[in-house]
A and B are shown apart, each in its own frame.
Chain A
Amino acid sequence: MRYNWNWSVLFADPYLGWLLSGLGWTVLVSAAAWIIGLALGSVIGVMRTLPSPIARAIGATYVEIFRNIPLLVQIFLFYFVLPELLPREMGRWLKRDLPHPEFTMAVISLGLYTACRVAEQVRAGINTAGRGQASAGLATGLTLAQVYRFILLPLAYRLTIPALTNEFLNVFKNSSLALTIGVLELTARARAVADYTYQSIEAFAAASLIYASISFLIAFLMRRVERRARLAGTLAAGTH
């Protein structure tokens, strides 16, 4: 293979700056989407375990809609189709006056998708904690809200740390789809370096290495968190 290797292109101006700014956007999109995903996902997850059938139905509908449409399609629908369905002025505002429209829509879209995944983990966590815990809590005179706040959710989060870590790594990697609506994150920047210099192998090797290092770092940190947060006498503690 007569490939003209040139690793130094990765450190040349302006390509190094591009990759770093791409990394910055990747981190911003992932972090912002994760905040939405974790907050909304917890609410939906709780709704799916509530006694009220209406709350359960809303939760289930949300999860089924967002889980069953490919993320790429969702991002496209949010960015290109939603503004056309809204009243003219509102659509125009979304397209023109919304600050950083590509970034904002990517974060919202990725956040809503992540919420449905988080919701399933939270629901599983609450179910694992067990009906018994909830009944015992109610019997001692706690309200339903207090049972969730003091018993079920603290247990559920701790039990699902490994699964939630996995979801966070997914957000981080899924954020590369934001390039399809024009967010110049890491993958988009790697593509640009490849297109301008024709050193595609180096550019994508660098992007892969950056993604992998950050994933390893997150996994490592979360394992420490998991060890500190584990509860004696629960299923999760038994696995160590």
Chain B
Amino acid sequence: MTKTAIVAGAILGAAFALTLGSASAQEFYGALKKIKDSGTIIIGHNEDSPPFASFGADGKPLGYSIDICNKIAAAAKAELKLDNLTIKYQAVNGQTRTPLLVNGTVDLVCATTTNTFSRQKQVDFLNTMFVTGNRLLVKKNSGIKEIEDLKGKVVSANQGTTNEKVLNELNQKLNLGIKVLSTKDQPQGWIALETDRTDAHMTDEVVEYGLIAKAKNPDQYAVVGRLLSFDPYAVVIRRDDSAFRSLGNRVLADLYRSGEWEQIYTKWMSTIGQPLSPELKLLMSMQNYPD
């Protein structure tokens, strides 16, 4: 064997080893790599948004969004061929959600987050898992039917939410002269309405049914008016991580296709008396991309 042949062989061998190595490594990056290396997936969740995400009696988070994220965790475990995967839960809120996701404290956020383009500059979203929109929560005897009936009245919406944004925009556009009370969270929006401090509370329709379901006298309250916005909820993940996004979207598509999604929907939405509408069913079935 000549010297050159040995060198050529060595280079070939090295190149082969290199491609082999990269072939097994290229499969995992981003969140999946982190989950594989640590053997742990950390789910960020809301703590005050039933039936989507809240604490159960045993102190563990539960709800519609949590069920979906647990399915994603199970799919990650299968994809990574892990024998054991620890699922950890970490409560987040509107302020901590982005920093904790971006710095790796949580791997995905399962809450009631509306997918918007301005948020996409910082984070990424899976496909839509629920669709709702703003309507008005009022007292039944108030006679309020539509947002136009609120001329000169007091209406609350929570600080920093898309609901507050929609309320301020409509107030200007329709020239209603509504006095806006920016409440801190849902319980305060509720107490303000209950004590007649406000005439209506504006938030996502599905959240309003949840609030009424928890009330002392639910028959005194009503959700009224047309849909004032379009709010597609989605699971939040880190940007530039298409492998993890693809895994999550596959889980969603499988749920929509198999009908398992309807069971999860009924399990949680029946607690607030919300039957599945044909429109929502159609919207979801449009996302069951084939394998």
Contact = CB atoms under 8 A, between A and B. Distances in A.
A4 B121 contact: yes
A198 interface: yes
A187 B38 CA distance: 36
A197 B191 CA distance: 28
Nearest to A80: B191
A192 B102 contact: no
A182 interface: yes
Contacts of B196: 92, 95-96
Contacts of B238: 2
A194 B160 contact: yes
Interface string B62-106: 000000000000000000000000000000001111110011100
A30 interface: no
* Chain B contact patch, size range: 20 to 34
B186 interface: no
A196 to B, nearest CB: 7
B195 A184 contact: no
A226 interface: no
Contacts of A197: 118-119, 121-122
Contacts of A182: 156, 159, 181-184, 188
A192 B184 CA distance: 11
Contacts of B96: 200
Nearest to B189: A182
A191 B94 contact: yes
A139 interface: no
Interface in A53-103: 80, 83-84, 92, 95-96, 101-102
Interface in B121-138: 121-123
Contacts of A11: none
A188 B102 contact: no
Given A4-B121, A182-B181, A184-B182, A191 B159 contact: yes
Given A182-B183, A197-B122, A3 B102 contact: yes
Contacts of A175: none
A228 B244 CA distance: 66
B154 interface: yes
Interface string B167-195: 00000000000000111100010011001
A196 B160 contact: yes
B281 interface: no
A186 to B, nearest CB: 13
A189 to B, nearest CB: 9
Contact of B184 (A4, A179, A196): A179
A195 B95 contact: yes
Kindly list the 4 A-B residue pairs having the minimum CB-CB distance in the complex, ordered from nearest: A195-B160, A198-B122, A192-B160, A95-B197
7 contacts: A3-B99, A4-B102, A180-B184, A191-B94, A191-B159, A192-B164, A196-B118
